[in-house]
Each structure stands twice: as structure tokens, then as C-alpha cells.
């Protein structure tokens, strides 16, 4: 079709084939429908990312398979059982097939002789003029008129015309055969010449007894040029096995990655002129409670060229997910310099700074406002996208979030197995999310080198978070996942020594309001006893495991990429007794008070050290064009599987290198108090009601004293379902409570081990 590759090629079958999905010349196959097909969780059909070769390979598998997956809910049934069809049943018909257009399957030697010399066209002989005959009627002397010469020429001789048509067909076939044989002979001659040259080279090599390949090793990027222009994937693999210096060379790895860098729509390769990036979809979600605009950014991270986005109006990803912006990637320094202006413009538009447009596709009618690039705004956009990539990654590897194949019965009675979304591409989607995270980190670091204000702002925000509790609130840090990204820009701050304790404390307190709705009894913090502690720890982890898993992955990734001294390839199963603190109280106190009071002041940034650290990280990402290396991918994939296996707080603390003991319940009680003191939730229940709820959880056997005023059978049934969100009046919605109550001594020491007089954890307001 004229709009290919937007629409798929139109393919029909001209040879009669016995197959349950073939009806005349029409092949019932979703890849030939020219569009994406969705049905009950199944996604298939045609996508512009398919090449013609891909489609033909799929058709080959389609006709040779013993089973054919049926869409619209019908099962993948055995073809032979339904129609008596076997892939071998049509083998004779296929072998005997001949095409008069391309010459496939035709033995031209029987048609035009072995010399393949086309015969001269047969000249038609002139027709003789027919004699005029007059028939006399029996009842009249009047003669009957006979056909004239012109009439006979007009009518012609049907038999002679058929002979001439057949002769012309033979002549055309002979001409095509001659052209085909001529091209084949030329190809054979070239192949013979190459073989002679190869034999001569091999003879010289054997004669000298030395391998000549080391001569090429001394030429800069010679293997990159040879492989890029002359070698296929199999050739590169074979050369890497035969010549170790090639496999060890940096150029060999760059070739493998470079060949995958091409536009999925136009198949534009990564050249010295192309600009490649990804499509990003921005959707507005209203405003926050403080009046700040809310928006979400999503990307399937399918590589796209700027020509496909601007000139061809491509606005959907490989499987049809929409996007309305194009964000170029760094890939390499030369590519970054070409795409720098487009990168800055795209980041500003994604942040909502563009004017007068809903799209930057470059189509007619779009008006893009001109705005100056604000570096930190761009950083916030990248951090939001990186955080979303982590969410997508954990969602795709999560056995609860991934869509399973479900069994159902089709209308014809077949057992239908609905494939997971995107044809069980959980692993593929995870790889894309990981690639997106690394590529965005590459972009973040490269922008920071161009704009020193980015490093200064990140340095200030991270150190303020460490120094002041007020700088950890939701108003100061709306999203902790996005804040963690800033750690990549502040190499002087480490996770284990500096950031783990304050960030974990803030995270646990923010999670409280989300799990109290279904577990309101956890709002009562005067419970004691092992049975209560175990229940609180178990229920809190189950309710918070999504956010905890996200934290585990981000911490592991940042430690893997940015730290060369920490070995985080696996999650430890136990904590050394010599290094673990004796209690939660001791652990949090040590972490807090190791920072002296004079460290509350934000230290001056060391630009030289920071820049050097960023350059080292960029250099690490450069050989793979900012994408994760196989080693990093394997490590993170293994880590994701281990993260999903964690089911309690103790291995969670160990995985993020946070030292603690098994006494965790007091920490969680302190998180509930912190949440209330920070105004993150309000308690719509009386203590008497919460005590009654605890009795229900424990079957009436409560190991702690009842609150003052409680008597058996007085409270009765407690109405649950009340909202803990601030300002909701116990119903739902509302604003955050601005009044902050100073925590009591008991609350502080039960939770995090700091005295209320500590200016580090409880600064004066």
C-alpha cells in the first residue's frame, strides 16, 4: 500500500492449499490484517515495526505449524484433527509450483534450450483474400451478400490469435529466463573471482605461516568499519570466535549495540546524520492540593527517528500506545550535539512550559511556543520518567501485576488460553524499562555537565533533606522515588551512611495513610506483646510491599551503576552480629548522631570531584550507547527476582544495607506517630474503638491493657471504612492538616531513638 509501513502489505495466496485458515486466496492470519489486533488480553496483528522478512517468516511458521492459535477466544487447536491437514500434505504442490512472473520453479532449459537464446518472434503471414461466393436462393434469383475483406480482418481467426498469444507468452518467458540466467552468470563470475582472491590470500597466509589479521588490529576502528559495511550478524559472531582480539575490542561490542539502534518505523539506521529518540506521552492530571500541576509521563521506549515523528506524523508506539512528544537520546557525543536543541525543547514541553500547543509533532496547525530552557525543570522531567520506568519494570516482573494466561471456554467449546498482554512480553517489557532507565540516566548526567546549575541544585536539595526534617515533607519532596534520582548527581552523599535512615523513615510514615483504611487497628500504637508485634509487622509489610520493592530496586540500581565499592549483586540472607546494632533504638541513634551538629550546614560543593565522577559514569555507559550492558542486565534481572521473593521487613532492611535487628514493631509504631504528627493522616476512631478492633484481630485475647473507660460489650460493633485522609471528616478527601504537633518523648523513643531535644531529627519550628 501507499502508506506502508503504516499499513501492512496485502498478501494473498494463488495456489490452492488445504488449510483451515485459508479460504480461496484469503489467508486468515492476524499479521496480514494490516493493523494491531486486540481481543480479551491478546495483542497481535501487524505493527510498523515488522519488516517484510519478519512477515514472511511468520507465514512460514503459520503454514508449517501443527497448531494454529485462533483469535477472538478460540483455542489453539490441532490442525490435523479438524481438517485432516498436515504440513507435509502440500509439499508436492509446493515443489511443483511455477511462477510465470518471476520464474520460480521453471526449468527454462526445456523451454528455450540450454543456451537460453530466445527465439526470434514468429512473423504472422498475411491472410489471403477470401473468394467472393454467391449463394442463390432456391426461391429467388437474388444473391445473398457475403462478408467483405474488412469484416474478415475485424473478426479474425480465433485459432490463429490463440496461437499467437501462446507464442508471445513463450517469448516473454524466454526473455525473462535469459535475463535471469545472465544475472546469475554474472553473480557466479563475481563469486568465482572472490574465491580465487580468497584462495590466493589463504595461500599467502599458509606460505608465510602468519595470520594477517593482527595487521588490521593496529588500525583505529577498522573492525567497526568492516563489520558495519560488509559483515552480517553471523559473520560478526564467527569472526569474534575465530579472532579473539576482535571479540575483545571495544568496537566489537559497539557493533552489536549500534546495529540495534534504528527507527522501528522507517528502519533508519544510526548514522552520522540521524537523530534517534523515543516517543513520550504527557497527560495532565489536574492539580495538587498546593495548586501545583499534576501530570504523568509514559514511554514504551521504542526507538524512533525524528523524521518519522515530524515528517510522517508517527504518534503511536510499536503496539499502538499513543505519545505526543519526541525526546532524543544521548547515544554518543556527536549525536547529543546534533540533538541538543531538540532535547531542551522537548523537556520544556513535557514540563508544561510550551505555549499554544498540545503536541510537538510538527504537523500543520501546531504552534509551539518559544521558551528558554530551564535546566532544573528538565531534570525534574527526567527524574519523573526514570521513576516511572522503575514502576513499569517492577510491574512487569511482578507475578501479581503481570497478566496471566487465563483459561476460558470459547463459543465453539474449545478451551481458550488468552495470552498475556503483548504476547507474554513481560521479559521484553522489563528489558525495555531497564534500557529506558539507563538511557535517561545517561541523558541526565550529560545535561548536568553542560549546566552546572543542575549539580548545584541537586547538591543543595539532597543536603537539605539530610539536615532538616522540614525538607523531607511532602511539600518539599513530593515524590521520594524521583528524589532518589538526584543521588546520581551528588556523589559525595552515599546511601548507606547518609541517606538510608532519613529516607526510610519518611517513606514508612507516608505509607501509613494508605494501609490504615483496611487495617484501622494499626492506628492504635499502645499495643504490646509478641503476637501484636508479629501481626503489625506482617500486615504492614503486605500493605506496603509495592513501595518497598520500588525502593529496593532503585537503591540496588544506583549502587550498581554509581558505586564501585559496594557489592550489591545479591541480597544477603543474614546480618552479621558483629555489625548489627543491638536494637532499633541503637541503630537509628547511631545513624542520626554520627552527623555532628556542625554538619547541619550544607557543605560547599566540590565541582571538580563531582564533574570527575560524572565523567567516569558517562564513560562507563558510552560503550553501550547509554544502554545497560549484558552484565548489568543480568544482575538487575536476578535482583528483581530476589526482590519479589522478599516477604518480610528483615530481608528488606538487609537488601538496602540498612542495619537493624528483628525488633521492628516499635519502628512501625513510630512511623504511625510520625505520620500523624506530620499531618499525613488523621485518626477518625476513638481509642476504645481501636482496642475493640484489636480484640477482633486477636480473637478476643488481647495481651495489653485496655484504654481507660473500656468495658466488655460496651463498645459493640465498630463501624469501619472511615477515611484516614486529612480533612475528610472520617469520610474521604480533604486537605493536609497544617498544624504539626510536637511528638512526645515516648513517641520519639519508641520509634527512631532520638530525643525530642535533638535538633537534627526534631528542629525547632
SS in 3 state form for 328-344? ECCCCHHHHHHHHHHHH
Strands 67-68 and 77-78, how do they pair? Answer: antiparallel
Q: What is the mean pLDDT of residues 485-510?
A: 91
Q: Which of 17-31, 113-127, 512-526 comes out lowest in average pLDDT?
A: 113-127
- Residue 354: inside a domain: no
Q: What is the mean pLDDT of residues 171-197?
A: 79
**How far is 15 from 89, CA to CA, in rounded Å?**
14
pLDDT of residue 178: 83
Say whether pLDDT at 19 is over 90. no
Identify whether the C-beta of residue 62 lies closer than 8 Å to the C-beta of residue 29.
yes
The overall longest dimension of the chain from CA atoms, in Å, is 143
pLDDT of residue 596: 43
Return the closest-CA partner of residue 47 out of 391, 430, 425, 402: 425
Across 323-337, 690-704, 710-724, the highest mean pLDDT is recorded for 323-337
Over residues 319-344, the pLDDT tens digits come to: 889 999 999 999 999 999 999 999 99
**How far is 547 from 535, CA to CA, in rounded Å?**
20
Over residues 615-638, the pLDDT tens digits come to: 888 888 888 899 888 788 888 778
By percentage, how much of the chain surpasses pLDDT 90? 24
- Residue 517: inside a domain: no
**How far is 186 from 177, CA to CA, in rounded Å?**
14
Across 165-179, 293-307, 606-620, the highest mean pLDDT is recorded for 293-307
Say whether pLDDT at 293 is over 90. no
How does residue 113 score in pLDDT terms, banded at 50, 70 and 90?
Answer: very low
CB count in 10 Å sphere of residue 664: 21
pLDDT of residue 712: 64
Residue 762 phi/psi, 5° resolution? -125, 75
Q: What is the mean pLDDT of residues 718-737?
A: 65
**How far is 339 from 204, CA to CA, in rounded Å?**
48
**How far is 457 from 489, CA to CA, in rounded Å?**
9
Over residues 395-420, the pLDDT tens digits come to: 766 544 444 333 332 322 222 232 33
Say whether pLDDT at 575 is over 50. no
Q: Which of 33, 63, 95 is the last residue of a domain?
A: 95
Say whether pLDDT at 384 is over 50. yes
- Residue 286: inside a domain: no
- Buried (b) or exposed (e) across 21-44, using 16+ Cβ within 10 A? bbeeeebebbbbebebeeeeebbb
pLDDT of residue 420: 35
Q: What is the mean pLDDT of residues 62-89?
A: 65
pLDDT of residue 570: 34
- Residue 351: inside a domain: no
pLDDT of residue 565: 33
**How far is 280 from 347, CA to CA, in rounded Å?**
10
**Higher-scoring residue by pLDDT: 414, 176:** 176
pLDDT of residue 322: 93
Residue 295 phi/psi, 5° resolution? -155, 155
Q: What is the mean pLDDT of residues 220-239?
A: 74
pLDDT of residue 620: 84
- Residue 283: inside a domain: no
pLDDT of residue 751: 38
Which helix H or strand E contains 27, and what residues bound it? strand 26-27
pLDDT of residue 673: 92
Q: Which of 75-89, 576-590, 646-660 comes out lowest in average pLDDT?
A: 576-590
- Residue 401: inside a domain: no
Q: What angle, rounded to 10 degrees, do the helices at 530-562 and 500-516 form? A: 130
Number of domains in the chain: 2
How does residue 246 score in pLDDT terms, banded at 50, 70 and 90?
Answer: confident
pLDDT of residue 758: 45
- Residue 50: inside a domain: yes
**How far is 248 from 241, CA to CA, in rounded Å?**
10
Q: What is the mean pLDDT of residues 522-535?
A: 88
**Higher-scoring residue by pLDDT: 522, 20:** 522
Q: What is the mean pLDDT of residues 291-308?
A: 89
Q: Which of 234, 260, 286 is the last residue of a domain?
A: 260
**Range of the structural domain that residue 68 is part of:** 22-95
Across 96-100, 223-227, 487-491, the highest mean pLDDT is recorded for 487-491
Q: Which of 192-196, 510-514, 534-538 comes out lowest in average pLDDT?
A: 192-196
How does residue 212 score in pLDDT terms, banded at 50, 70 and 90?
Answer: low
Q: Which of 27-36, 66-75, 610-619 comes out lowest in average pLDDT?
A: 66-75
Say whether pLDDT at 644 is over 60. yes
How does residue 484 score in pLDDT terms, banded at 50, 70 and 90?
Answer: very high
Q: Which of 77-91, 272-286, 564-578 comes out lowest in average pLDDT?
A: 564-578
Cell numbers representing residue 451 in the block:
549546566
Counting Cβ atoms within 10 Å, is residue 192 exposed (0-12), middle (13-18) or buried (19+)? exposed
Beta bridge partners of 143: 136
Q: Which of 360-364, 500-504, 718-722 comes out lowest in average pLDDT?
A: 360-364
Q: What is the mean pLDDT of residues 603-626?
A: 82
Q: Which of 37, 65, 95 is the last residue of a domain?
A: 95
Q: Which of 99-108, 271-280, 296-305, 682-691 comes out lowest in average pLDDT?
A: 99-108
Q: Which of 52-61, 106-115, 255-264, 734-743 comes out lowest in average pLDDT?
A: 734-743
How does residue 81 score in pLDDT terms, banded at 50, 70 and 90?
Answer: low
pLDDT of residue 746: 35
State the DSSP code for 22: E
Mean pLDDT of the chain: 74
Q: What is the mean pLDDT of residues 469-495?
A: 90
Q: What is the mean pLDDT of residues 498-505?
A: 91
Q: What is the mean pLDDT of residues 164-189?
A: 81
Residue 362 phi/psi, 5° resolution? 80, 10
Q: What is the mean pLDDT of residues 724-751?
A: 46
Residue 553 phi/psi, 5° resolution? -65, -45
The three-class DSSP label of residue 669 is: helix
**How far is 168 from 180, CA to CA, in rounded Å?**
18
Q: What is the mean pLDDT of residues 380-400?
A: 80
Helices (H), ranges, 398-523: 421-424, 426-450, 452-467, 480-485, 500-516
pLDDT of residue 460: 93
Amino acid at each position: 500500500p501507499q502508506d506502508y509501513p503504516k499499513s501492512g502489505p496485502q498478501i494473498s495466496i494463488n495456489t490452492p492449499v488445504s488449510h483451515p485458515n485459508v479460504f480461496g486466496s484469503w489467508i486468515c492470519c492476524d499479521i496480514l490484517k494490516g493493523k494491531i489486533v486486540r481481543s480479551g488480553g491478546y495483542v497481535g496483528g501487524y505493527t510498523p515495526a515488522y519488516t517484510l522478512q519478519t512477515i514472511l517468516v511468520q507465514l512460514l511458521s503459520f503454514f508449517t505449524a501443527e497448531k494454529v492459535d485462533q483469535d477472538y477466544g478460540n483455542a489453539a487447536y490441532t490442525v490435523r484433527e479438524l481438517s485432516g491437514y498436515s504440513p507435509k500434505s502440500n509439499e508436492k504442490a509446493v515443489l511443483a509450483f511455477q511462477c510465470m512472473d518471476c520464474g520460480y520453479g521453471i526449468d527454462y532449459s526445456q523451454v528455450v534450450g540450454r543456451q537460453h537464446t530466445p527465439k526470434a518472434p514468429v512473423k504472422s503471414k498475411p491472410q489471403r483474400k477470401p473468394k467472393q461466393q454467391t449463394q442463390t436462393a432456391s426461391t429467388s434469383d437474388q444473391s445473398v451478400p457475403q462478408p467483405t475483406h474488412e469484416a474478415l480482418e475485424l473478426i479474425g481467426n480465433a485459432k490463429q490469435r490463440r496461437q499467437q498469444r501462446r507464442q508471445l507468452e513463450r517469448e516473454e518467458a524466454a526473455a525473462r529466463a535469459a535475463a535471469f540466467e545472465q544475472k546469475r552468470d554474472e553473480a557466479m563470475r563475481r563469486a568465482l573471482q572472490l574465491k580465487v582472491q580468497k584462495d590466493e590470500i589463504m595461500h599467502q597466509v599458509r606460505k608465510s605461516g602468519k595470520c594477517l589479521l593482527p595487521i588490521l588490529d593496529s588500525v583505529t576502528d577498522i573492525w567497526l568499519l568492516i563489520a558495519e559495511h560488509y559483515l552480517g550478524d553471523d559473520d560478526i559472531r564467527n569472526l569474534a570466535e575465530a579472532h579473539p582480539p576482535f571479540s575483545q575490542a571495544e568496537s566489537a561490542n559497539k557493533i552489536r549495540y549500534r546495529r540495534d539502534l534504528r527507527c522501528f518505523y522507517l528502519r533508519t539506521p544510526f548514522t552520522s546524520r540521524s537523530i534517534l529518540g523515543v516517543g513520550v506521552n504527557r497527560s495532565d492530571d489536574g492539580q495538587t492540593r498546593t495548586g501545583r500541576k499534576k501530570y504523568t509521563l509514559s514511554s514504551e521506549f521504542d526507538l524512533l527517528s525524528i523524521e518519522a515523528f515530524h515528517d510522517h506524523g508517527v504518534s503511536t508506539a510499536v503496539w499502538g500506545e499513543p505519545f505526543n512528544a519526541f525526546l532524543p537520546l544521548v547515544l554518543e557525543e556527536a549525536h547529543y550535539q546534533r540533538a541538543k536543541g531538540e532535547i531542551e525543547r522537548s523537556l520544556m514541553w513535557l514540563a508544561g512550559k510550551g505555549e499554544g500547543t498540545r503536541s510537538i509533532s510538527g504537523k500543520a496547525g501546531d504552534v509551539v511556543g518559544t521558551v528558554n530552557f530551564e535546566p532544573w525543570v528538565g531534570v525534574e522531567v527526567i527524574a519523573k520518567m526514570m521513576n516511572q520506568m522503575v514502576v513499569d519494570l517492577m510491574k512487569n516482573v511482578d507475578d501479581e501485576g503481570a497478566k496471566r494466561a487465563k483459561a476460558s471456554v470459547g463459543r465453539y467449546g474449545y478451551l481458550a488460553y488468552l495470552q498475556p498482554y503483548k504476547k507474554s512480553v513481560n521479559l521484553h517489557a522489563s528489558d525495555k524499562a531497564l534500557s529506558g532507565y539507563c538511557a535517561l540516566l545517561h541523558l541526565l548526567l550529560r545535561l548536568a555537565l553542560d549546566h552546572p546549575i543542575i549539580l548545584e541544585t541537586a547538591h543543595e536539595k539532597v543536603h537539605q533533606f539530610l539536615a532538616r526534617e522540614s525538607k523531607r515533607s511532602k511539600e518539599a519532596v513530593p515524590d521520594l522515588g524521583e528524589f532518589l534520582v538526584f543521588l546520581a548527581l551528588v556523589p559525595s552523599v552515599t546511601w548507606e551512611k547518609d541517606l538510608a535512615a532519613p529516607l526510610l523513615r519518611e517513606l514508612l510514615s507516608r505509607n501509613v495513610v494508605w494501609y490504615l483504611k483496611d487495617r484501622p487497628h494499626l492506628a492504635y500504637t499502645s499495643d504490646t506483646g509478641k503476637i501484636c508485634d508479629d501481626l503489625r509487622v506482617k500486615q504492614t509489610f503486605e500493605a506496603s510491599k509495592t513501595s518497598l520493592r520500588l525502593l529496593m530496586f532503585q537503591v540496588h540500581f544506583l549502587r550498581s551503576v554509581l558505586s564501585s565499592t559496594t557489592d550489591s549483586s545479591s541480597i544477603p540472607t543474614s546480618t552479621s552480629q558483629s555489625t548489627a546494632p543491638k536494637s532499633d533504638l541503637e541503630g537509628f541513634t547511631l545513624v542520626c548522631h554520627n552527623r555532628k551538629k556542625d554538619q547541619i550546614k550544607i557543605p560547599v560543593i566540590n565541582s571538580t570531584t563531582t564533574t570527575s565522577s560524572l565523567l567516569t559514569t558517562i564513560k562507563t555507559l558510552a560503550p553501550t550507547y547509554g544502554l545497560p550492558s549484558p552484565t548489568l542486565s543480568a544482575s538487575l534481572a536476578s535482583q528483581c527476582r530476589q526482590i519479589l521473593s522478599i516477604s518480610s521487613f528483615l530481608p528488606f532492611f538487609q537488601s538496602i544495607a540498612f542495619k537493624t535487628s528483628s525488633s521492628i514493631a516499635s519502628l512501625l509504631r513510630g512511623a504511625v506517630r510520625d505520620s500523624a504528627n506530620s499531618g499525613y493522616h488523621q485518626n477518625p476512631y476513638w481509642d476504645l474503638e481501636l482496642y475493640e478492633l484489636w480484640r477482633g484481630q486477636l480473637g478476643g485475647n488481647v495481651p495489653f491493657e485496655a484504654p481507660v473507660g473500656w468495658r466488655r460489650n460496651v463498645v459493640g460493633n465498630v463501624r469501619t471504612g472511615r477515611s484516614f485522609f486529612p480533612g475528610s471528616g472520617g469520610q474521604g478527601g480533604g486537605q493536609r492538616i497544617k498544624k504539626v504537633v510536637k511528638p512526645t518523648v515516648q513517641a520519639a523513643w519508641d520509634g527512631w531513638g532520638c530525643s525530642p531535644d535533638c535538633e537534627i531529627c526534631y528542629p525547632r519550628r
